[in-house]
Structure 1
Amino acid sequence: MSESRPLSAIPPVAARAIAFVTILLGGLAGGLIGYALVDLQTSGDNTVAKGFGLLIGAVLCAAGLAIVAVLALRAMGEWREINDRERAGHAPR
């Protein structure tokens, strides 16, 4: 018996949640790296420079991971669509 679910290219909620958490963790890691990089290159009390390093590192890393996550989720949606077509007997030969 086949599972009845509406056809949709939207990835499962669990996959979207994992992608979101991964982007947040990547932003955290990028921020820490940016902060440490500026901290190593400067001396004294440079809180503004350290803050910019933290912000730029976090944004760049989170943006890069967001791109990867979107591509992975789209690939997952296409994979599900292909499997749905094969199960329905509409797969190309």
Structure 2
Amino acid sequence: MAKEPASLAAVVRKPQTSEPEQPKQRAPKQKTAPTKPAQEKDLGPDRRLSFACSARLYLDLQIHKAHTGMNHQDIIADALAEYLKKHAKERQG
């Protein structure tokens, strides 16, 4: 008895079609409408700027704080506001 060669179709067990098999392709991504930029939420007290300063300047701020009762961040905020007002006047006139 002679053995018959096994057919590949029986091993794979796929239905045979006359069309050649093509690789699956993804659908093109749809472009979304542009969204509005996110608005910043105000969830707490005003944020304070951080900065680096010398030890001597920090000590001077601490001494000023002891005399006035203002913390160093408020001292710097006031000084910055005065500086900006002064230079705004110079630019205008």
Give the TM-score, by structure 1 length. Answer: 0.27
Higher relative contact order (CA 8 A, sep 6+): 1
Q: Judging by fraction of residues, say which structure has more helix.
A: 1
Q: Which of the pair has more CA radius of gyration?
A: 2
